Amino acid sequence: MELPLAFDAQLFIQLTVNGVTLGSLYALIALGYSLVYGILKLLNFAHGDVYMVGAFIGYGVLTALGGPLSLDIALVPLIVLMFLAAMLGSGALGVLIERFAYRPLRDAPRLAPLISALGVSFFLQNSALLLLGAGFRSYDSFLLGSNQPELFVPGPLVDPVFVIHGVNVQTIQVVVLSVTVGLMVALTLFVARTQLGKAMRATAFDREAAAMMGIDVDRVIASTFFIGSVLAGAAGVMFGLLFSQVFHLMGFLAGLKGFTAAVVGGIGSIPGAMLGGLLVGLAESYAAGYVGGRWSDLFVFGILILVLLVRPSGLLGARAINKV
Amino acid sequence: MDTGGTIPEPPAAPDERDRPRVGVDEWVAKVEERRETHRGLAGVAHRILRFVPPPARLALFVVVAATLPLWMGRGDLFAYGIFTLLYVLLGLGLNVVVGYAGLLDLGHIAFFGFGAYLYALLSSEQYGIHWPATATVPLVVAATALLGLLLGIPSRRLLGDYLAIVTLFFGQAFVFFVNAANPTVAGKGLTGGPNGIADIDPLSFFGYELASRKQQFYFLLLAVALILTGLHFLSESRTGRAWRALREDPLAAEAMSIPVNRLKLLAFAFGAAIAGFTGCIFASVLTAVTAGNFGIPLLITIYAIVILGGVGSLTGVVIGAIVINMSFQFLAPENPQDNARLLFYSLIILLLVLTIRPLWKLAAVFGGVVALGVVVERLVDALAPSWTGGVVVEGGRLAGAVGHWVIIPTGHGRFANVAYVSLVAAVLLLTRLRGNARIVALVPTIYLAAVVWETSFVEQPAVARWILFGALLVSLMTVRPQGLLGTPRVEIV
Amino acid sequence: MKRTLVLAVLTALVAAAAAVTAFGGNAGSDGSGSSAVPAGSDSALIRCGRTRTIGVAAPITGAAASIGSQQLRWARYYVTRYNASHRTKFRVVSGDTQLPDTAQAIQVAERFASNSRILGVVGPAGSQEVQVSSAPFRNGGLGYVSGSATRTSLTNDGSRRGYFFRTVPNDDQQGPRVADYIRTVLKASRVVVIDAQNSYSTGLSDTVEAILKNRGLSVRRESVSEESTTDFSSLVARVPGDTQVVYIPWQLAPKAQLFGQQLRAAGKTARLFGSDGLFDPDSFKIPGSLVSFFPIDLKSKVIAAYRRGPGKGSSELFGLPSYVAADVVVRAVDKACRNGTATRGEVRRNIAATLIPKAQSLLGFTVKFVKQAQAPLAPGDMQRPANFGIYQISASGAYVRVS
């Protein structure tokens, strides 16, 4: 463990920028977990694999339109297309999973949907392995859109938009951040203002009563899964654009972190998921930067366990009231 | 109120699944639950089990298992015999925590790993300590139980899914500690880092070393029998009943002055002790341990065993372990593919026989599938020979028949992928259809399944078995959510 | 009720039949367990028919799937080419060792050892897997040739002599070569060594760090989990701006590529030096970087054909030593089978006496195994001139041999 001797502002800012970017990704995944848990009290372990499918759909669009080094269309419409395709595809997949793997288990003991989710996860991961092979697929985001990719001239995605204290904030980081903020604002408005959002809140509060009030619970649950999966699909494409490499097991790792973020922020709470994601991203970034190497992951876990021990229902989680 | 002289019917349930209606007597409400337990094949199993008392079940299991080394080769004994018993032990340990006490413990594998590493430290070349098993095993079990207690203490405040997360962290923390942290103790890395600890001694009791696979297998069998007996008595005892009360309704249990916190700690400690014991055996059988042995995939497998077998049921755990490990090993790439093929087709035939009622419909489906296959194969062969040019991989006994029935293209790389995706879509569609439409749709779906099997699955058996495993989990859970031998639970509004 | 009973009996019968066919057929022609000479063993005589079998143990699924599937493809490719040009045919039985879970590796080893038709094994891939597989293979008398297990102690401790061979140089050969190059040719004085928290990587990192520190260079050691890290920017921040060389003995070329790109994006100009795991012209292409690998002929027809065929567009060179390993095993089996029967012991002795001339070897040098130990080589390692070449990546991403 090597701690810096003096407070290095540049390092701190670099790590903060990294952490916020990473945190946005985790927050989007965590939102999917929280939404589903709020309504069904189900931990959807297949959510990470929906994210993986989104990333692969984005890759598919990229390859269909010429591949990273020889694009057929301009960069901006390409990115928009990738996002749209991945979001719609993931959303559809989420609805399918709910329909076939979770709906029959709606009244089952709590552990049955868990196993079903794990089964779906295995199925998705290994289907990707069967269909596409084990190799990493690259978005090549460093060179994407570059006018001279053979000479390794970086593309516009990594160009700095602005520089703070000597730290480059890249275009792609700004894009990721703004899309995340936009999606979260849209989600919050949706849940607070629209009728479907109100129905979702009602169903999350008390499913039986909502059914009695005439709310179509099946449709509400399907919409919840759709929204959660759309966010995951967007996160998948963002991951590809930020870090280039997509592979069949990426959902497992990210899903674990997203799940952690959801719980730390208070599972079932939307602002909690956002906050939790940010916290996990920042913790990971600072730990890797300051602690480094062997102890960094342990450090992250330590922080998170501490949070949970101090506030057992998460940062913004509702205090569980047991009605007798 | 004048209703014209007739008494109105109570309103029908909102959907076709029977649910207890508000205001209805509890015994009446449980009618469905009682009926569920007696339905179908699992119902038969249930009735047999009720007929056979636990000691007889255990005796039967031990006798059948003891004959395994007589007809299984060494490799098969290891993969099917020893590993199934290891999974049984792990499942039993988890069963105490999840099944008896109802605590969602996602870090259980860390106890297993702790036990394995501690045994490795005490009986290997790592520090030159070579204590006999009579000394190390009790020590490891006690130490792991203590660790379980320690984990249980902060977990008392946490409920349900928060407990899951903290235990998950603990599990991950253990893996990182062992793999990456690897502190230097007495001049050496304590846990060997990514290399782990190697050259672990086999278990030796009073000078008798368990070196051969047969000896290890019999020792494991003995251990399983003893632990099963112990757990049975435990579950029938006051503690066991208190645990069940805690699992069903923690609030009511507390109101009945059951010491809930103490029970939770006890469950953790017991489960950890069993896991630690299994860790010792695991380390000695493998002769080397690394962090990769104790990751999430193993955790998922053990959970699947416990839940598929029926949470809380000892026989269920044993059956779950047998079913899951056996099928997993059977579908392994090391097993000649003609065996897996036999299993695949037998299962399809069995499924059809089980689910299609009138005999003539069954015959129609069989005939239809065979006829469809032959016709398609002949047609395609005549029109585009490259589409049937492929070879039946590892044909064995069925190569000839299958070759004339299924189209196996060569050189059309995309075909396998398209066929696979179509199969998934077809199967999902099949679950939505009813009656005769379903039976008609079965014919092309089965043929498509055979095509996918012959073109993709036998080429990549290692991946195929995971896909089938995942599909098995999903279908088993949707068909029977309470597991094979669990009790279906009905929520009272 | 009667029907379900009938069906239950039917199910049990099917299960029993399946079990009998599976176990009965698998344990070998002369019975299992109860016979005097166990079915798969050192001296059991096997009739070599027209089809002979070798085993390939690799991590086909799991976290290391990208490595294992490459090795399996290359080994299968050798067998395909062999079968196309010979009358006798070879068959590959694969085993999924699911690195990093060594419990699977030992199961695969046990089942291979029991399968009396298997005469030799290619694999396993990881050094930890070799460790757990040693006892089963020894008990079964099987020789095994690995295309990627580089830990020096595997051959140097002598316990696997005659059984374990490898078609890759060990860590103690690669390390000093790299350290020498960094010191004498690159003339660097400030170096950062980053290990990937796995067995392969820490071995090499330790060796290089020790040698360079001994010679007075300033060496900083970092560590990252290459499998699970997706964002290397924090690691990049820890690399001092004035570093001249960053040594990354990793196995996942795409991760190294990402790290390199983030390093460049942060404005740091340190030169990257990768080990043989990163030799992948399709994935690792940071200009100016160096990679150590065999002195292979990149223009070889075999590599080009692989790229068109099983490789589906990529050369997957990490798996190339498994092709050579398959070559070694197949030649040994052929030699043993010349008189119509063979034993596993015979195959092992033939492997130890392997001689593949340079013209037929894909590695760029004659393949022979060492007979006498002389550090850092021991029986099981390849003889000199088996050593590494140093390649540099040009501005257009092409690999050019510079040493």
Q: Kindly write down the DSSP assignment for every residue of B135-188, as one continuous string.
A: HHHHHHHHHHHHHHHHHHHHHTT--HHHHHHHHHHHHHHHHHIIIII--EETTE
The helix or strand, by DSSP H or E, that contains position A305, with its residue range, turns out to be helix A296-310
Chain A residues with CB under 8 Å of B421 CB are: 131
pLDDT digits (tens, 9 = 90+) for C322-360: 999 999 999 999 999 998 888 999 999 999 999 999 888
Percent of chain C past pLDDT 90, that is, above it, reads 40
pLDDT digits (tens, 9 = 90+) for C92-148: 999 999 988 889 999 999 999 988 889 999 989 988 899 889 999 998 999 999 998
> Nearest Cβ partner of B194 from C27, C93, C198?
C198
Q: Is C22 in Cβ contact with B335 (below 8 Å)? A: yes
Best of A18, A21, A141 to mutate (most C CBs within 10 Å, chain C): A18
The span from the CA of B453 to the CA of B466, in Å, is: 14
- Reported ipTM: the value is 0.86
Fold annotation for C172-295+389-401: Rossmann fold (3.40.50)
Res B100 pLDDT > 70:
yes
Res B231 pLDDT > 80:
yes
> Nearest Cβ partner of C254 from A242, A245, A254?
A245
**Residue A6, domain member (yes or no):** no
pLDDT of residue A168: 74
Best of B94, B162, B190 to mutate (most A CBs within 10 Å, chain A): B162
**Contact in structure between A263 and A314 (CB atoms under 8 Å):** yes
User: How many other C-beta atoms can be found within 10 angstroms of the C-beta atom of residue B138?
Assistant: 12
The span from the CA of B169 to the CA of B189, in Å, is: 23
Q: Is C265 in Cβ contact with A292 (below 8 Å)? A: no
**Contact in structure between C99 and C65 (CB atoms under 8 Å):** no
Residue of chain B whose alpha carbon sits nearest to that of C20: B71
Q: Is C55 in Cβ contact with B75 (below 8 Å)? A: no
Give the number of domains in chain A.
1
Chain C residues with CB under 8 Å of A244 CB are: 254, 257-258, 261
pLDDT digits (tens, 9 = 90+) for B342-386: 888 888 888 888 777 788 888 888 888 888 888 888 888 888 777
Handedness of CA A239, A240, A246, A248 (dihedral sign): positive
Chain B residues with CB under 8 Å of A135 CB are: none
pLDDT of residue C122: 95
The span from the CA of C328 to the CA of A81, in Å, is: 50
Res B254 pLDDT > 50:
yes
How do C51-58 and C118-122 pair as beta strands? Answer: parallel
> Nearest Cβ partner of A142 from C222, C229, C261?
C261
pLDDT digits (tens, 9 = 90+) for A206-244: 888 999 999 999 999 999 999 999 999 999 999 999 888
Q: Is C34 in Cβ contact with B70 (below 8 Å)? A: yes
Structural domain boundaries of chain C? 46-169+300-368, 172-295+389-401
pLDDT digits (tens, 9 = 90+) for B105-162: 889 999 999 999 999 999 888 888 888 888 899 999 999 999 999 988 877 766 667 7
Q: Collect the ranges in chain A with pLDDT lower than 50.
A: 1-5, 322, 324
**Contact in structure between C253 and C284 (CB atoms under 8 Å):** yes
Q: Is C96 in Cβ contact with B462 (below 8 Å)? A: yes
* Number of alpha helices (DSSP H) and beta strands (DSSP E) in chain B: 22, 4
- Among A residues 248-277, those touching chain B with beta carbons less than 8 Å apart: 252, 256, 259-260, 263-264, 267
Q: What are phi and psi of C248, to 5 degrees?
A: -125, 90
Nearest to B219 by CA among B54, B69, B56: B69
A322 vs B: CB within 8 A: yes
Q: What is the DSSP letter of B292?
A: G
Buried/exposed code over C83-107 (b: 16+ C-beta within 10 A; e: otherwise): eeeeeeebebbbbbbbbbbbbbbbb
Q: Name which residue leads in pLDDT, C41 or B172.
A: B172
**Contact in structure between A128 and A248 (CB atoms under 8 Å):** yes
pLDDT digits (tens, 9 = 90+) for C381-391: 888 766 778 89
- Among A residues 292-321, those touching chain C with beta carbons less than 8 Å apart: 292-294, 297
Strand partners, C382: C369
pLDDT digits (tens, 9 = 90+) for B306-316: 988 888 888 88
The span from the CA of A69 to the CA of A63, in Å, is: 10
User: How many other C-beta atoms can be found within 10 angstroms of the C-beta atom of residue A28?
Assistant: 32
Q: Is B79 in Cβ contact with C111 (below 8 Å)? A: yes
Q: How many residues does chain A have?
A: 324
pLDDT digits (tens, 9 = 90+) for C275-329: 988 888 888 888 899 999 887 878 889 999 998 888 887 888 888 999 999 999 9
A14 vs C: CB within 8 A: yes
- Whole-model pTM: value is 0.87
The CATH number of domain C46-169+300-368, selected from 2.160.10.10, 3.90.550.10, 3.40.50.2300, 3.40.50.300: 3.40.50.2300
pLDDT digits (tens, 9 = 90+) for B3-26: 556 676 666 555 544 555 566 566
Residue of chain A whose alpha carbon sits nearest to that of C318: A135
* Shortest Cα–Cα distance, A132 to chain C (Å): 11
How do C46-47 and C341-342 pair as beta strands? Answer: antiparallel
pLDDT of residue B477: 87
Res B172 pLDDT > 90:
no
Percent of chain C past pLDDT 70, that is, above it, reads 90
Chain C residues with CB under 8 Å of B193 CB are: 197, 199, 202
Res C36 pLDDT > 60:
no
The span from the CA of B206 to the CA of B455, in Å, is: 55
* Shortest Cα–Cα distance, A92 to chain C (Å): 27
Residue of chain B whose alpha carbon sits nearest to that of C5: B44
The 3-state secondary structure of chain C, one letter per residue: CHHHHHHHHHHHHHHHHHHHHHHHHHCCCCCCCCCCCCCCCCCCCEECCCEEEEEEEECCCCCCHHHHHHHHHHHHHHHHHHHHHCCCEEEEEEEECCCCCHHHHHHHHHHHHHCCCEEEEECCCCHHHHHHHHHHHHHHCCCEEECCCCCCHHHHCCCCCCCEEECCCCHHHHHHHHHHHHHHHCCCCEEEEEECCCHHHHHHHHHHHHHHHHCCCEEEEEECCCCCCCCCHHHHHHCCCCCCEEEECCCCHHHHHHHHHHHHHCCCCCEEEECHHHCCCCCCCCCCCEEEECCCCCCCHHHHHHHHCCCCCCCCHHHHHHHHHHHHHHHHHHHHHHHCEECHHHHHHHHHCCEECHHHCCCCCCEEECCCCECCECECEECCCCCCEEEEECCCCCEEECC
Chains that touch A (3 or more CB pairs under 8 A): B, C
Mean pLDDT of C12-38: 50
pLDDT of residue A162: 79
C222 vs A: CB within 8 A: yes
> Nearest Cβ partner of A292 from C238, C396, C397?
C238
pLDDT of residue A1: 41
* Shortest Cα–Cα distance, B23 to chain C (Å): 34
Range from A84-98, A122-136, B36-50, C257-271 carrying the lowest mean pLDDT: B36-50
Q: Name which residue leads in pLDDT, B24 or B398.
A: B398
Buried/exposed code over C173-196 (b: 16+ C-beta within 10 A; e: otherwise): bbbebbbbbbbeeeebbebbbbbb
What residues contact residue B238 under an 8 Å CB cut-off, 6+ apart? none
Nearest to B335 by CA among A288, C118, A201: C118
**Contact in structure between C172 and C376 (CB atoms under 8 Å):** yes
User: How many other C-beta atoms can be found within 10 angstroms of the C-beta atom of residue C378?
Assistant: 21
Residue of chain C whose alpha carbon sits nearest to that of A15: C234
The span from the CA of C353 to the CA of C368, in Å, is: 7
Q: Is A242 in Cβ contact with C235 (below 8 Å)? A: no
What letter represents residue A167's amino acid? V
Q: Is A116 in Cβ contact with B162 (below 8 Å)? A: no
* Shortest Cα–Cα distance, A277 to chain C (Å): 15
A321 vs B: CB within 8 A: no
Best of C198, C205, C228, C234 to mutate (most A CBs within 10 Å, chain A): C234
CB pairs under 8 A between A and C: 102
**Contact in structure between C255 and C229 (CB atoms under 8 Å):** yes
